[in-house]
Amino acid sequence: MKCERCWSEDGVGDLIVAESNKSGRNAELGKIHLCHSCRAAAPREPLLLQKLFLKFASKKELLQHYGVNAASDALVRWCTEMGITLKEAETLLSQESVRLGLFAASDMSSLQPPTRQPPYGYRIQEGSLIPSPSESSVVLSVFDKYLEGETLEDIAQWLNRSRVPTRKDKTWHRSTVRYLLRNPLYAGYQRRNGVLRKSSHPALLEPSLFEKTQAMLAERCRRPDQKVSAISLDTG
Ligand SMILES: [Zn+2]
């Protein structure tokens, strides 16, 4: 039996995932198999456990996933994705003595609140997100190409060849393309307190196309270190 987080076979055992409900009793959500050291480091808090600790077995994975060089930048992106503030994340993480082995004390002290820059594809007008004509057409092309079967690498190369500017880094990488394809904002959804909800901002594409993209990402990515968790939209 292998550890579901790091694939080690060293002293693998069950960790019971529990969530405290309103009556203060712990509701058992399930069991996961973890090796000895992952079990010892695992946080009890469900959001940290499921959306951070289990998703990223190392700092390297975390940085690669978000296409950034600093753990503090990755944390800012993770917070945006989860719909929680940096302050909330700091509080959660400070309750974990080892910061899950993903963040050093210096990462936490260098945390800057996210810039007010809107997500790629949008601009802000009178406090609301509206599609940016040039960037939103790039977003649509990226989804089109991926749905037509092009790889993340193909798309990154095409963007670089076409000299499509990025917001921050100089070049597009497969990780930046994947980050874009995974953003439910483009289907008109936003994460608040870890839950995806329909938002009032204009979507760039149909939720069904977004969901199809997520299924393809999960299917086409077989490397355990790049596993993606499903994103399902409540379209009912
Ligand atoms: Zn492990």
Q: Output the CA 223–ligand 1 centroid distance in Å.
A: 16
Residues 73, 37 share a domain: no
Pick 206 or 29 by higher pLDDT. Answer: 206
Q: Is residue 24 located within the same domain as residue 52?
A: no
Residue 23, domain extent: 1-42
Q: Are residues 14 and 67 in the same domain?
A: no
Which of 54, 35, 58, 34 is closest to 46 using CA atoms? 54
168 and 209: one domain?
A: yes
For residue 95, being part of any structural domain is answered with yes
Q: Cβ neighbours of residue 66 under 8 Å, at least 6 residues apart?
A: 73, 74, 77, 78, 175, 179
pLDDT tens-digit readout, 57-71: 888 999 989 888 888
The 3-state DSSP class for residue 123 equals: strand
Residues 138 and 221 grouped into a single domain = yes
pLDDT at 41 over 90: no
CA–centroid distance, residue 214 to ligand 1 (Å): 26
52 inside domain: yes
The mean predicted confidence, pLDDT, of the chain is: 83
Quick check: 102 pLDDT over 60?
Answer: yes
CA of 75 to the centre of ligand 1 (A): 21
- How many Å lie between the centroid of ligand 1 and the Cα of residue 125? 46
User: What percentage of the chain has pLDDT greater than the value 90?
Assistant: 33
Tell me the CA–centroid distance for residue 61 and ligand 1, in Å. 14
Question: From ligand 1's centre to the CA of 52, what distance in Å?
Answer: 14
- Helical (H) or strand (E) element with 90: helix 86-94
**154 belongs to a structural domain:** yes
pTM, to two decimals: 0.56
Say how many domains are in the chain: 3
Give the pLDDT of residue 227.
Answer: 59
Residue 159 pLDDT exceeds 80: yes
What is the Å distance from ligand 1's center to 169 Cα?
Answer: 32
Predicted confidence at residue 188, as pLDDT, reads: 93
Tokens of 103: 């963040």
Q: Report the CATH number at residue 183.
A: 3.90.1750.20
- Ion ligand 1: residues, Cβ under 5 Å: 3, 5-6, 8, 35, 38
Q: What is the pLDDT confidence band of residue 236, given thresholds at 50, 70 and 90?
A: low
Q: How many CB atoms are closer than 10 A to CB 46?
A: 14
As beta bridge partners, residue 124 has: 129
Same domain, 38 and 49: no
Cα-to-centroid distance, 39 and ligand 1 (Å)? 7
Same domain? For 142 and 208 the reply is yes
Q: Does 123 map to a domain?
A: no
- pLDDT class of 142 with cuts at 50, 70, 90: very high
